[in-house]
Amino acid sequence: MVKISPFAPKRLPALPPIDGVRIAACAAGIRYPGRADLMLALFDPGTTVAGVLTTSRTASAAVDWCRAHLAHGMARALVVNSGNANAFTGVRGRDAVQLTTKAAAEAAGCLEADVYIASTGVIGEPLDPGKFTGLLGGLARDAKADAYEVAARAIMTTDTFPKLATRSCKIDGVEVAINGIAKGAGMIAPDMATMLAFLFTDAAIEPKALHEVMAPLVEDSFNAVTIDGDTSTSDTLLLFATGASARRGAARIARGDDKRLDGFRAALFELMRDLAHQIVKDGEGLTKFVTVTVTGAETKQAARTIAKSIANSPLVKTAIAGEDPNWGRIIMAVGKAGEAADRDKLAIRFGDILVAKDGEVAPTYREAEGAAYMKRQEIDIAVDVGVGKAAATIWTCDLTKDYIAINADYRS
Amino acid sequence: MVKISPFAPKRLPALPPIDGVRIAACAAGIRYPGRADLMLALFDPGTTVAGVLTTSRTASAAVDWCRAHLAHGMARALVVNSGNANAFTGVRGRDAVQLTTKAAAEAAGCLEADVYIASTGVIGEPLDPGKFTGLLGGLARDAKADAYEVAARAIMTTDTFPKLATRSCKIDGVEVAINGIAKGAGMIAPDMATMLAFLFTDAAIEPKALHEVMAPLVEDSFNAVTIDGDTSTSDTLLLFATGASARRGAARIARGDDKRLDGFRAALFELMRDLAHQIVKDGEGLTKFVTVTVTGAETKQAARTIAKSIANSPLVKTAIAGEDPNWGRIIMAVGKAGEAADRDKLAIRFGDILVAKDGEVAPTYREAEGAAYMKRQEIDIAVDVGVGKAAATIWTCDLTKDYIAINADYRS
């Protein structure tokens, strides 16, 4: 029995239609019968796309395809399957991608080069595209403007809730919308954190500018979350901009540094961080959502490395699972990070509670106070390492027996 | 209830006396009443010492002391306590070390500079040396040549069995012995892997040569094991050489590259690797002992990084706990390591079973065969990454619900 995350939203956000985007999903039986595992999104002609893909040296065949085609920056269709990652599947994997994109291009009435693709699930098992290529025509006919929730459900693997977010903003006075769906759960760590996230907007932005706006936002959103320090072979973030708002008078923006994109950038960043947090909040087996902020570091990169060292430490994460204010393990994680830190100036806070300063336990700190704080569902850990002015924040969850249960039995 | 490791030896090795070493231990009530938590070793005049200490930026006060005194390379006493790591304890931590070494010097009748010290246990809580400084005189009087087992027990924390090893060899025709004790269990990762290991020999080797012989052996012994990727603030390896074999005609060796040390080096390395394996075999909550060998890497360092990425991956470790031959997660861990690897030449073996080659599942591989292999207690995973000729081996264990239980409740 899978337990639903304690952070699962009571009500899913309602995503408005995005002009120029239609979506459909169905159950293709890729791994389990009777569960939605295939989605198709269709985009109107003129839609631009920007993407950030996994840095894994063993990237999947679908990632290879996206990397090759993002250069031209135009999109007409997106096909995503769950249940099988089509990673480490050799020549058969490449063939599966070819067959899928060919079928999707026929269904969408577009060039194969305008089809984007992503697969998530088990690694190393051949993906049989015959299970779903015949379904794409029907999905194209059924595609609707309001199908974000079914799409978000179709890309889930061990996720316990679908991840949806929406924002709106103005570009040069014209209202545009941004919708996003994502999946996460396991193999979640920076570079990149999300396994899959797909964002949609009716903004009119040229491909290069779209990439320039989105790519820098990844560092403090999807790349600032970690569940288990593991990095998937399939991590894919794609942002599709249909440009339909141009019909309502919106400008078509060609440069990423165009001032008119400031509001869009802010809204997009909020949406990306929202989805990134949702991914952590559905971390396998989690009971706590943890924010780790490191200040006083030499550089931002050093602050991130130390924060990740804390956020990925099994001993820190199990202590949090046990509601144990075991700050000694935080000291350990700072120490092993390999970045400059002044042991004798180090300070630690749990929320507003000063736990340690100047390299030892704070005189005002009471263990009972720390223990009470650790019973919260959302935990803030702040560490000042006393050598500089740079800061970074990483979001993570605790490490529980249920994580082990889920991952020891995943394929069984 | 703590479960004893399934790898606990049925019979502990019998360590012979080392001429020039006497040891005693007792229960000082440092954390728990009635369990041995303090050991004292006394060395005859002329004993040399070499050490390798944690690379942590938040090293303990005891580690600071050892680092400062190893330079002169002579030793007369070693004091070790468990139950409290005396790490991140500020000025009080330094004072505790001063009081301990002063008391030990009085008990041993030596200079404070000839006393070495180590502490292991909880981080961040002040260590009260008043609990044990008064006991050192009695321990010095009681010290015996055959007390290795009680010493190995006194340095245990969450270890479930004491770790002992012995080897003998000849230096220039004269028989010398090497004994070692160690403790591990949690916060075990390369740099350095062991929390505490103390080695003793009657060989006659000058301090600089002793260091030159020992230090290079750490990489493929204590630094080649990992339990949870965490690195302790207290990791300490010390090798004491009494030189007593000189009385039986052994040469006193002044250079690390002296050919007469070849047999000693080999025996010392075997003993260090034996203790390192024992540490893994008592990994918290483990059920499997896992050997990860990476071949075909560009450099030895790259091979180590990839092997560690596999050995530290929570997803790989939980799959092993679940006896799931989920080799896709090994692909993931190779990919995230960031070192060169040719996805399309990658090969994986479980023991003698060829699982994958040339970037996809091997045609001869049968899942049932992999599943049967994973039921073994000792698992060999070999990965060839297909880009070069360098190789490295890392030893680790699985990640189980019991690891979580032990670490969520450690301080409770």
Chain B residues in contact with A191 (beta carbon < 8 A):
336
Q: Which of B133, B166, B194, B226 is catalytic?
A: B194
Between chains, do A314 and B403 touch, taking CB under 8 Å as contact? yes
Chain B residues touching A341 at Cβ < 8 A? 57-58
Q: Which residues of A touch B321 (CB under 8 A)?
A: 404, 408
Contact between A89 and A127 under an 8 Å Cβ cutoff? The reply is: yes
Q: How far is the alpha carbon of A128 from chain B, nearest alpha carbon, in Å?
A: 15
Token readout for A7 is: 């952070």
Strand order in the sheet with A48-53: A48-53, A236-241, A196-201, A174-183, A163-171
CB B63 within 8 A of CB B93: no
Closest CB to A58 among B230, B321, B334? B334
**Contact (CB, 8 A) for B346 and A123:** no
Q: Which residues from chain B sit within 8 angstroms of residue A228, using beta carbons?
A: 313-315
Decide if A328 and B124 are in contact by the 8 Å CB cutoff. yes
> B315 vs A228: CB contact, 8 Å cut-off?
yes
**Closest Cα in chain B, distance from residue A135 (Å):** 27
Least CB–CB distance from B58: residue in A322, A332, A409? A332
Q: Which two tokens stand for residue A75?
A: 């999109």
Spatial distance between the Cα atoms of B226 and B236, rounded to a whole number of angstroms: 16
Helix (H, G, I), strand (E, B) or coil at A222: helix
Q: How deeply is B106 buried, as exposed, middle or buried, from its count of CB atoms within 10 A (0-12, 13-18, 19+)? A: middle
Contact B332 A361 (CB under 8 A): no
**Residue ranges of E strands in B141-223:** 163-171, 174-183, 196-201
CA distance A318 to A333: 13
Q: Which of A319, A332, A335 sits opposite B407 (nearest CB)?
A: A319
- Is B412 in Cβ contact with A322 (below 8 Å)? yes
Segment B152-179, tens digit of pLDDT: 999 988 788 899 999 999 998 899 999 9
User: What's CA B222's distance to the chain center, in Å?
Assistant: 5
User: How is chain B split into domains, by residue range?
Assistant: 21-280, 289-408
Q: Domain B289-408 is classified in which CATH homologous superfamily? A: ArgJ beta chain, C-terminal domain (3.10.20.340)
A171-223: pLDDT as tens digits? 988 999 999 998 886 554 433 334 688 888 999 899 988 999 888 888 888 87
Q: At what angle do helices B262-280 and B207-214 cross, to 10 degrees?
A: 50
Q: Give CA–CA dist A278/A268, Å, rounded.
A: 15
The pLDDT score that the predictor gives to residue A166 is 93
Please give, one letter per residue, the 3-state secondary structure of A333-381. HHHHCCCCCCCCCCEEEECCEEEEECCEECCCCCHHHHHHHCCCCEEEE
CATH topology of domain A21-280: L-amino peptidase D-ALA esterase/amidase (3.60.70)
Residues in chain A where the model's pLDDT stays below 50: 188-194, 410, 412
Residue B46 CB-density burial (10 A; 0-12 exposed, 13-18 middle, 19+ buried): middle
CA distance B91 to chain A (A): 8
- Per-residue pLDDT at B144: 96
DSSP labels for B105-154? HHHHTS-GGGEEEEEEEESSSPP-GGGTGGGHHHHHHH-BTT-HHHHHHH
Rounded (5°) CA angle A4-A10-A15: 110
Q: Under the phi-then-psi rule, with left for phi > 0, alpha for psi from -120 to 50, and beta for the rest, what region is B214?
A: alpha
Give me B317's structure tokens: 């470790």
Q: How far apart are CA A256 and CA A206, in angstroms?
A: 9
Q: Which residues of B touch A126 (CB under 8 A)?
A: 360-361
- Residue from A272, A284, A271 nearest A230 by CA: A284
φ, ψ dihedrals at A144, nearest 5°: -130, 160
Angle separating helix axes A300-312 and A328-336, nearest 10 degrees: 130
Residue of B nearest to A345 (CA): B90
Indicate the DSSP class of residue A124.
Answer: S
Do B88 and A328 count as a contact with CB atoms less than 8 A apart?
yes
Residues of chain B with pLDDT under 70: 1-2, 185-194, 227-234, 409-412
Distance between CA atoms of residues B176 and B168, nearest Å: 6
Q: How far away is chain A from the Cα of B15, in angstroms, using its nearest Cα?
A: 33
Catalytic positions of A are 194
What burial class does residue A47 get, using C-beta atoms within 10 Å of its C-beta: 0-12 exposed, 13-18 middle, 19+ buried?
buried
**Best of A67, A192, A343 to disrupt the B interface by mutation (most B CBs within 10 Å)?**
A343
Q: Which residues in B lie closer than 8 A to residue A125 (C-beta atoms)? A: 328, 361
d(CA A51, CA A67): 8
Whole-number pLDDT of residue B302: 95
Torsion-angle region of A364 (φ positive above 0: left; ψ -120 to 50: alpha; else: beta): alpha
User: Which residue in chain B has the smallest CA separation from A361?
Assistant: B124
Query: Distance between CA B267 and CA B350 in Å, rounded?
Result: 30
The token pair at A71 is 């250069």
Interface test with B, best of A404, A410, A412 (most B CBs within 10 A): A404
Contact between chains at B92 and A230 (C-beta distance less than 8 A): no
Q: Which of A93, A341, A400 lies closest to B404 in CB terms?
A: A400
Q: Mark whether B194 is an active-site residue.
A: yes
The residue of A407, A410, A412 whose CB has the most chain B CBs within 10 angstroms, and thus the best one to mutate to test that interface, is: A407
- Give CA–CA dist A76/B285, Å, rounded: 51
- DSSP, collapsed to helix, strand or coil, labels residue A55 as coil
Contact B233, A315 (CB under 8 A): no
Q: Which residue of A has its CA nearest to B121?
A: A328
Chain-chain contact of A331 with B126 (C-beta, under 8 angstroms):
no
Structure tokens at B381: 């995973």
- Residues A186 and A232: their CA atoms lie apart, in Å, by 8
Q: Which of A55, A321, A358 sits opposite B404 (nearest CB)?
A: A321
Asked whether the CA dihedral A52, A55, A60, A66 is positive or negative, the reply is positive
Closest CA–CA distance from residue A231 to any residue of chain B (Å)? 6
| CA within 13 Å, CB half, A76 | 16
Across the interface, do A324 and B410 touch by the CB < 8 Å criterion? yes
Tokens of A20: 């120029």
Single-letter amino acid code for the residue at B1: M
Q: Which tokens belong to B198?
A: 């103390």
Q: Which residue from B309, B296, B304 is spatially nearest to B390, judged by alpha carbons? A: B296
Q: Which residue of B lies nearest to A311 if distances are taken between CA atoms?
A: B230
User: Does residue B128 contact residue B148 with C-beta atoms inside 8 Å?
Assistant: no
Which among A181, A202, A221, A246 has a CA at the least distance from the CA of A15? A181
Q: Which of B166, B177, B216, B218 lies closest to B194 in space, CA to CA?
A: B218
- Strand partners for A65: none
Inspect the interface and report whether the beta carbons of B314 and A90 lie closer than 8 Å: no
Q: Identify the CA nearest to B39 among candidates B161, B154, B162, B157.
A: B154
Q: Please tell me which of the candidates A230, A360, A409 has its beta carbon nearest to residue B322.
A: A409
Nearest chain B alpha carbon to A339: B57
Q: Report the residue of chain B nearest A87, measured CA to CA.
A: B328
- A–B: how many Cβ contacts below 8 A? 237
**Residue A90 to residue B151: CA distance in whole angstroms:** 55
**From A57, A89, A331, residue closest to B88, measured CB to CB:** A331
B110 CA to centre of own chain? 28
Determine, for residues B57 and A409 on separate chains, whether the beta-carbon distance falls below 8 Å.
no
The DSSP letter of residue A242 is -
Closest Cα in chain A to B361: A124
The whole model's pTM is what?
0.80
Which residues have C-beta within 8 Å of that of residue A242, sequence separation ≥ 6? A18, A19, A20, A21, A43, A44, A46, A47, A200, A201, A202
Residues of B in contact with A93 (CB under 8 A): 360
Q: Do A313 and B230 touch (CB under 8 A)?
A: yes
- Decide: B107 and B140 in contact? Cβ < 8 Å: yes
B38: nearest Cα among B156, B122, B126:
B156
pLDDT on residue B228: 62
Cα-trace Rg, chain B = 22
B301 Cβ contact partners less than 8 Å away, ≥ 6 residues apart: none
Which residues in chain B have Cβ-Cβ distances shorter than 8 Å to A192? Answer: none
Examine the predicted complex and report whether its ipTM is higher than 0.85. no
In one letter, which amino acid is A406?
I
